[in-house]
Amino acid sequence: MRNTVFSGIQPTGTLHIGNYFGAVRQWAALQAEAQCVYCVVDYHALTIDIDPQMLRPASRSMALDLMACGIDPERSILFLQSMVPEHVELSWILGCVTSFGDLSRMTQFKDKSASQEFVSAGLFMYPVLQAADILLYRASGVPVGEDQVQHLELSRRIARRFNGRYGELFPEPEPIVGRGARIMSLANPGIKMSKSAGEQHYIGVMEDRESIRGKVRSAVTDMGLTPGAEMSEGVRTLFEILDLAASDGGGEDDVRALKEEFEAGTLMYSRLKDAVFEAIVKVVEPIQQRRAELEAANVVDDILEEGAARARSIARETISEVRDRVGLG
């Protein structure tokens, strides 16, 4: 039997190239070797103050983005989390084998709660729901960016504690972390590329050329032009994006030449930025085109229904076993 891989993404805005290179590109590649279950995690989105009118269209739109990036509903199960309410039931049960102390140590909770006036219990419980998402499908691998690795360690601990108390049931899920697992913001290379930091801190996969050009042109670099100088975080980020985009869209030789120029202290950053811009566009434009075609074909609702039905049949089996083990019903 093939291994099961699970991952999810929040419908809290547009997909950015950090999400793409850090996670979604791997999701697509893994379809060749595993049974993949991919989910738009709309229950998770409720942990921030999201407009109810926006949530449904945003979830649908994220599903389209994922398909445009190569998630193939023929090969993978693609669905919205809220169409499979077993996620929430398992989350409650797993919450009862999760320690308050462990949850209090989650750095994402500390970071996100610091910037909010109202801190919900949902935000605190976020990693437990994430553990439920994964364990419901008894997934053994979870392709994620680096920011999710701590949550994955907690998922493993939760699986261990459940298995220890109620008997072996869940595999301990391993993070699958590839290249591009932590892409930094071009406007502030000290923080990761993210939507919540603001427009200038991310490049959207569906963004238009001119807007991408503007953001790349204004990327933070340094004074440069010193042979053998250490690369600043900003220049490193530009090279990292160039490397990743070139491995998708071709152009590795140009990257090598630019690196040699940097080493020699002769690199003009305007040339590096032009190359980064061109490389990003080469990756995102075909995705944008596919997305437009998928949207015109009006297939997403049926695909999500079908995905939810397949997910639910696995989820029901797991929940029934869990209820039996813990003595419910």
Nearer to ligand AQP, 22 or 319 (CB): 22
Active site residue 112: yes
Cα dist. 134→201, 241, 267 in Å?
A: 29, 29, 45
Q: How far apart are CA 134 and CA 6, in angstroms?
A: 6
Structure tokens at 81: 């989390």
- Smallest distance from the beta carbon of 107 to ligand AQP, in angstroms? 12
- Smallest distance from the beta carbon of 131 to ligand AQP, in angstroms? 14
Cα atoms found within 13 Å of the Cα of residue 287, Cβ hemisphere only: 29
How many helices (H) does the chain have, and how many strands (E)? 14, 5
Which residue of the set 110, 112, 259, 273 is catalytic? 112
Active site residue 110: no
- Closest Cα partner for 181 from 149, 137, 206, 152? 149
Count Cβ atoms within 10 A of the Cβ of residue 218 and give its class: 0-12 exposed, 13-18 middle, 19 or more buried: exposed
Name the residue with the smallest CB distance to ligand AQP.
22
Nearer to ligand AQP, 103 or 169 (CB): 103
Place of tokens 């499979």: 84
Which residue of the set 110, 192, 273, 282 is catalytic? 192
Nearer to ligand AQP, 91 or 148 (CB): 148
Q: How far apart are CA 139 and CA 173, in angstroms?
A: 6
DSSP characters over 274-324: HHHHHHHHHHHHHHHHHHHHHHHHT-HHHHHHHHHHHHHHHHHHHHHHHHH
Nearer to ligand AQP, 97 or 152 (CB): 152
Nearer to ligand AQP, 4 or 10 (CB): 10
Long-range contacts of 108-116 (CB under 8 A, 24+ apart): 108/147, 108/150, 108/151, 112/48, 116/48
Q: What are phi and psi of 247, to 5 degrees?
A: -70, -20
- Smallest distance from the beta carbon of 143 to ligand AQP, in angstroms? 7
- Smallest distance from the beta carbon of 265 to ligand AQP, in angstroms? 29
- Smallest distance from the beta carbon of 250 to ligand AQP, in angstroms? 22
Q: How far apart are CA 245 and CA 77, in angstroms?
A: 27
- Smallest distance from the beta carbon of 327 to ligand AQP, in angstroms? 34
Which residue of the set 195, 215, 259, 282 is catalytic? 195
Q: How far apart are CA 79 and CA 303, in angstroms?
A: 8
- Smallest distance from the beta carbon of 249 to ligand AQP, in angstroms? 18
Nearer to ligand AQP, 135 or 183 (CB): 183
Nearer to ligand AQP, 198 or 286 (CB): 198
Q: How far apart are CA 189 and CA 232, in angstroms?
A: 9
Question: Which residues form the interface with ligand AQP (CB under 6 A)?
Answer: 9-10, 12, 16, 18-19, 22-23, 144-145, 147-148, 180-183, 192-196
Q: How far apart are CA 66 and CA 224, in angstroms?
A: 38
Q: Which residues are marked as active site?
A: 112, 192, 195
